[in-house]
Amino acid sequence: MALIILTSARRLRSACRLQRIQGHVMSTKAGSEVLFEKVGNAGVITLNRPKALNALNLTMIRHIYPQLKKWDKDSETDLVIIKGAGDKAFCAGGDIRAITEAGKAGDSLTQDLFREEYILNNTIGTYQKPYVALIDGITMGGGVGLSIHGRFRVATEKTLFAMPETGIGLFPDVGGGYFLPRLQGKLGLFLALTGFRLKGRDVQRVGLATHFVQSDKIVSLQKDLVDLKSPSNSDVAQLLDSYQEQSCLDAEKPFVLQEQTEAIDRLFSAGSVEEIMENLKKDGSAFALKQTETLAKMSPTSLKLTFRQIQEGERMSLQEVLVMEYRLSQACMRGNDFYEGVRAVLIDKDQSPKWKPSTLSGVSEQAIEECFSSLGERDLKL
């Protein structure tokens, strides 16, 4: 009511200004879980849940998607930068607990979050303007989806990349079926099944990041990025290249899997997960035995889903992969292992999930086939 009865023009102007500020603050949602700002001609997105390692939830997705669409059409926005708040994570994944609770309650969040997240992944993958993800910290699951499909991904020595979903009864989604089989040899399948973690410069070496820049240069890099005038992709690439050339940290350190690359290609070249397990057991090396132990802890259903997902995804477009992965996400929501995996790993933390079925042989081809079946009207539409 107070605003209505203000008569002074000066006070009215001041009230309008306050309203605009409040409108901007409100647009970033209560608690400001994601922040948007225009710096020069750059749109900057900051994932702002540092205490939760910037985990991605539906509210954040529902703010990022329209903002990206708006900036794409805006003639005064030349590039987009996305980063995480705090010094630990870019984004450590999706809001798994919320999805678990929703699934148990039969809430539509189990459909909405996956659907809207995959639509956002596709928007990033088809974005017309330069899109730069500064993955300076933990980058897993949903955080990979916000970065990997963009034109530029900048890793630092603090980057920790992993797709650990088979350990919680899921599969490496957010387009994992697209980018993982396109890595060299069988590396993508290895990362997908085992959840192996890559760090720092290695993330760039395998092609998951386009550039490696030392963490202490990121603030300066961001300033130089926003100062670019109407940059093309090649202008952005040139700037990132120059920063990479100045970043010598760990350059002499060999790739963590350098000595195992040949073994990974050989042991993971197989027609099924069972064959991979057989190869590993026959090989008997310390590396092979370690992978056998790792895979034995994972959900057998997840391993088989993931194997087929990577196999199919090799021949698919990103859009086709996301449609496939939405079907798989809904199959996981209907099943047992996702809820059991989250309980064992994130809630009770006893690290002893009771998978159903508990063995690879117990997971039938028919059960896997059904997970890949069309959802008809409920299929993901891009």
CA distance 160 to 283: 29
**Which amino acid, 47?**
L
Known catalytic residues? 94, 142, 165, 173
Task: Give the CA count within 13 Å in the CB-facing half-sphere of 99.
Answer: 30
The helix (H) or strand (E) run that includes residue 42 is strand 42-47
Q: Which two tokens stand for residue 297?
A: 């802890």
Phi, psi of 15 (to 5 degrees): -65, -40
Tell me the residue length of the chain: 382
CA distance 209 to 205: 8
Q: 380 with 323: CB under 8 angstroms?
A: yes
Task: Give the CA count within 13 Å in the CB-facing half-sphere of 93.
Answer: 19
User: Where on the phi/psi map is residue 224: left (φ > 0), alpha (ψ -120 to 50), or beta?
Assistant: alpha
Q: Where are the beta strands (DSSP E) in 278-353?
A: none
**First-to-final CA distance of the chain:** 44
**Which amino acid, 168?**
I
CA distance 247 to 197: 22
Residues near 233 by Cβ (< 8 Å), separated by ≥ 6? 130, 151
